[in-house]
């Protein structure tokens, strides 16, 4: 296998070092937690959640992801779209750090849609920079360079030196992937000079390591070792194990290229040990590949084959296409040397598949053309600006020489007119703002009034008067029969239910946990009245945060009451009556299903018509009006009722599906 072939792989294993630098610069977690504890402002909490996530990325990935998600949720709650975007970009960066490219790109797709609603150059620059990294990691080099150049222009616009440095290093990586070594070196040197000017030792180490890779490709091994050792000394000085691991890896690569396989193996083993201690699977694979390569060179073909097959399985799980490609390449040579030509051919075919999917000559031409266009456009803009400045200077000189007096008078007139125009526009805008504010206040008052009226009606209709009468009558009968124990138990549950209804009525929203507690109390009370014969089950699907998911208060009880009074109560064998409640979160709403095995709607209607007591389902109607008022999708049907039947068309019960907006 040719040396050039080997050097085409190593740059990929250096990729994550540059753009995960932010994860290394962790702020003091205790300080951030202290600030979080002592602030009540949701906007500040959102920012602190993001910083905690960044600080914990390389320490505790579970907690880091949780903080990013909290920032996203709180940003939505306070309607701060910019903070939601920032949280999502950092979460996408986190997923990329952990090798989950599809999840990262999916999240960045949501950010792209949000960025159409507002303009912020810094946020847009971070978005393009992170998406460019994801594209590069996924082998889509043209898209990667395109996004990085967009980020570069935006960082230049806002004067973000740190962002510029990151983009320079990422553009260098993309050009290395495309074998544009001279262009890559140019970008790396730009990044190094920028960080040196800032006095940023840690980022200088990253640039030095990348420059070392280029000299390694150019076969100037002594110079490559010089740069890698400089980077290693800086990272060891600041105890940056994550980056020191990469330096050890790259030094091992240089010794391999020099033919010193023993020394190379020692450095790769040290690199692998650090990767395992830090829990970095992608870098464990990198070290394993390099060790398998050394085994191949030492003619330990069986050992090399076993290692590569295991590596490919792990790389496929993580969708690391470049690892898969290069491992199949080496595996084909190892099988060939071991005399297994059939498997060698299969491995070569797999290599060609992944090779074609990652890079082609058209990619190279497109990227080169894109970079030339960017440089040309930048120079043209500079020429245009210089010409404009010269024209302005010439015109100004002519104006001062020939029209001095007229200029002064003109300035005075313009100033006067501008003042009048400004005053007029200011007053008009002020009036428009006042009018718009009043209209919003009127809309808000009307909305609150409608909602309050519905909530009062809902409270009045919440607990069926007939149900309360039956409860009190049952308690009285138990006392008369001397069954004081059950009477006390029944009265306690009844009191608990009434208390929960009144408490929940004080709030427009309650947690899902409190709503389910009320339902439990209500069903238990109804079941107790029927000698405990009503069976029920509440099924929470998925990972729903019961305490932090809020919905309109007392919104499910009317449906459960309807299932008992119009479905189960008319069964001859009420002991087999059952209610099943299932809840699942879909986006920003809860989909709740209340299913009973009662007599069905048709039978219930017939029995009700013959009954002296005819209840009016006001609770259901009011609940639907409340949901419609709170829902953004006014035309959508929020309550669906399904009649359950067997093959013979006989009623088996009823299922009610309710779509409830949550916060």
Instruction: Give Cβ neighbours of residue 371 (< 8 Å, ≥ 6 apart).
Output: 145, 149, 183
**226: closest CA among 251, 248, 246?**
251
Predicted confidence band of residue 138 (pLDDT cuts 50, 70, 90): confident
Distance CA 333, CA 269 (A): 23
CB neighbour burial string for 506-537, b if at least 16 within 10 angstroms, e if fewer: eeeebbbebbbbbbbbbbbbbbbbeeeebebe
Pairing relationship of beta strands 589-596 and 651-661 according to DSSP bridges: antiparallel
Q: Which of 129-143, 554-568, 613-627 is least confident? A: 613-627
In CATH, the number for domain 463-661 is 3.30.565.10
3-state helix, strand, coil in the chain (%, to 5): 75, 5, 20
**CA angle centred on 91, ends 88 and 93, rounded to 5°:** 110
pLDDT tens column, 602-648: 887 777 666 544 554 566 777 777 777 777 655 567 888 999 998 88
Residue 650 pLDDT greater than 90, yes or no: no
Q: Which of 261-275, 315-329, 347-361, 409-423 is least confident? A: 347-361
Contact 227, 212 (CB under 8 A): yes
Distance CA 169, CA 214 (A): 12
Residue 367 pLDDT greater than 90, yes or no: no
Per-residue pLDDT, 26:
47
Distance CA 563, CA 331 (A): 65
User: CA torsion sign, 425 to 428 to 432 to 437?
Assistant: positive
Per-residue pLDDT, 463:
61
Distance CA 218, CA 3 (A): 11
pLDDT tens column, 165-218: 999 999 998 898 888 999 999 999 999 999 999 999 989 998 999 999 999 999
Residue 15 pLDDT greater than 50, yes or no: no
Distance CA 205, CA 211 (A): 10
Q: What are phi and psi of 394, to 5 degrees?
A: -65, -45
Q: Which of 63-67, 92-96, 354-358, 553-557 is least confident? A: 354-358
Which stretches of 506-663 are DSSP H helices? 512-529, 557-563, 601-610, 618-630
CB half-sphere exposure, 396, CA atoms < 13 A: 6
User: 585: part of which helix (H) or strand (E)?
Assistant: strand 578-586
User: CA torsion sign, 376 to 382 to 385 to 390?
Assistant: negative
Per-residue pLDDT, 25:
44
Whole-model pTM: value is 0.48
**CA angle centred on 228, ends 222 and 229, rounded to 5°:** 90
Per-residue pLDDT, 243:
87
Distance CA 474, CA 562 (A): 21
Contact 572, 597 (CB under 8 A): no
pLDDT > 90 fraction of the chain, expressed in percent and rounded? 41
- Delimit the domains of the chain by residue range: 299-359, 403-462, 463-661
Compute the average pLDDT of residues 221-238: 94
Residue 437 pLDDT greater than 80, yes or no: no
202: its two tokens: 């840690």
Residue 283 pLDDT greater than 90, yes or no: no
């Amino acid at each position: 296998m040719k040396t050039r072939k080997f050097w085409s792989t190593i740059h990929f294993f250096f990729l994550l070092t540059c753009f995960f630098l932010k994860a290394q610069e962790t702020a003091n977690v205790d300080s951030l937690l202290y600030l979080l504890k002592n602030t009540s402002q949701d906007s500040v909490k959102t920012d602190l959640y993001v910083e905690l996530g960044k600080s914990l990325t390389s320490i505790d990935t579970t907690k880091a992801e949780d903080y990013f998600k909290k920032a996203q949720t709180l940003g939505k709650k306070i309607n701060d779209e910019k903070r939601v975007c920032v949280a999502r970009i950092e979460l996408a960066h986190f997923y990329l750090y952990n090798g989950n490219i599809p999840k990262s790109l999916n999240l960045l797709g949501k950010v792209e849609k949000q960025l159409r609603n507002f303009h912020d150059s810094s946020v847009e620059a971070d978005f393009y920079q992170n998406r460019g990294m994801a594209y590069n990691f996924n082998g889509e080099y043209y898209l990667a360079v395109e996004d990085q150049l967009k980020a570069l222009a935006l960082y230049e616009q806002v004067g973000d030196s740190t962002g510029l440095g990151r983009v320079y290093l990422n553009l260098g990586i993309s050009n290395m992937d495309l074998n544009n070594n001279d262009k890559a070196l140019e970008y790396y040197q730009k990044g190094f000079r920028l960080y040196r000017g800032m006095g940023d030792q840690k980022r200088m180490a990253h640039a030095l390591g990348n420059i070392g890779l280029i000299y390694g490709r150019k076969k100037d091994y002594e110079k490559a070792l010089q740069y890698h050792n400089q980077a290693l000394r800086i990272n060891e000085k600041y105890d940056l194990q994550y980056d020191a691991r990469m330096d050890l890896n790259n030094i091992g690569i240089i010794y391999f290229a020099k033919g010193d396989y023993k020394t190379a193996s020692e450095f790769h083993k040290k690199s692998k040990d650090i990767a395992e201690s830090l829990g970095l699977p992608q870098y464990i694979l990198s070290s394993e590949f390099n060790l398998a390569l050394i085994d191949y060179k030492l003619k330990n073909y069986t050992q090399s084959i076993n290692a590569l097959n295991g590596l490919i399985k792990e790389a496929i799980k993580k969708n690391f296409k470049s690892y898969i490609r290069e491992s199949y390449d080496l595996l084909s040579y190892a099988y060939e040397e071991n005399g297994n030509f059939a498997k060698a051919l299969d491995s070569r075919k797999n290599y060609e598949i992944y090779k074609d999917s990652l890079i082609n000559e058209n990619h190279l031409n497109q990227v080169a053309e894109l970079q030339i266009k960017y440089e040309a456009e930048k120079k043209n803009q500079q020429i245009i600006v210089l010409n404009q400045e010269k024209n302005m200077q010439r015109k100004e000189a002519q104006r001062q020489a020939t029209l001095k007096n007229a200029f002064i008078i003109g300035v005075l007139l313009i100033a006067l007119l501008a003042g009048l125009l400004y005053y007029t526009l200011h007053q008009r805008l002020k009036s428009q703002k006042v009018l718009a504010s009043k209209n919003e206040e009127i809309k808000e008052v009307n909305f609150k009034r409608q909602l309050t009226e519905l909530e009062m009606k809902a409270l009045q209709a919440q607990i069926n008067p007939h149900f309360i009468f039956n409860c009190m009558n049952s308690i009285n009968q138990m006392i008369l029969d001397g069954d004081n124990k059950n009477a006390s138990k029944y009265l306690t549950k009844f009191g608990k239910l009434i208390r929960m209804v009144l408490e929940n009525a004080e709030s427009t929203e309650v947690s899902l946990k409190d709503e389910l507690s009320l339902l439990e109390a209500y069903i238990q009370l109804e079941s107790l009245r029927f000698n405990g014969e009503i069976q029920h089950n509440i099924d929470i699907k998925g990972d729903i945060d019961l305490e932090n998911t809020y919905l309109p208060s007392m919104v499910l009880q009317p449906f459960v009451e309807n299932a008992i009074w119009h479905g189960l109560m008319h069964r001859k064998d009420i002991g087999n009556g059952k209610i099943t409640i299932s809840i699942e979160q879909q986006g920003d709403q809860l989909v709740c299903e209340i299913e009973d095995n009662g007599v069905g709607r048709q039978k219930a209607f017939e029995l009700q018509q013959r009954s002296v007591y005819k209840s009016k389902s006001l609770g259901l109607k009011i609940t639907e009006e409340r949901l419609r008022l709170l829902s953004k999708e006014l035309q959508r049907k929020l309550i669906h009722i399904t009649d359950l039947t067997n093959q013979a068309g006989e009623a088996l019960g009823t299922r009610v599906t309710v779509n409830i907006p949550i916060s």
